[in-house]
Amino acid sequence: QVQVVESGGGSVQPGGSLRLSCVVSGLTLNNYVVGWFRQAPGKEREAVGCISPYGSTRYARSLKDRFDIFQTNTETGLQMNKVKPEDTATFYCAARAAYSSPSYCGLETSDYDYWGQGTQVTVFS
């Protein structure tokens, strides 16, 4: 059974930083893709970025200068820097088995089979 669990959400002031964590279990270690998405109230879920088993990353164009996705032995992290009020959203981690090209990851919600429950990030003055 595959499980995806996010953590690390909370409240942060504009200009601050926050780190989210995603732990995936039930997929072959080092052989799955992880994507980060977010959904603000009244808006569609949108991609933040993704990371492949090889460590290749892709980002939404508007976020690549402030957000960083990384992997450790136990988690996939999302480092958020210089946050803005418009970053307020529920952040979701998603996973799927690796593609035939292990350096590829996708930025569409339909690319992913397994989703976490989401973690709330609120940026306030």
Greatest extent of the chain over all pairs of C-alpha atoms, in Å: 45
- pLDDT (tens digit, 9 = 90+) per residue, 14-24? 999 999 999 99
Best CA proximity match to 34, nearest among 121, 114, 119: 114
Residue 114, pLDDT above cutoff 90: yes
30 confidence band (pLDDT: 50, 70, 90): confident
Locate 39 and state its tokens. Answer: 């959904």
Quote the CA–CA distance of 102 and 54 in Å, as a whole number. 6
Quote the CA–CA distance of 56 and 2 in Å, as a whole number. 23
Beta bridge partners of 45: none
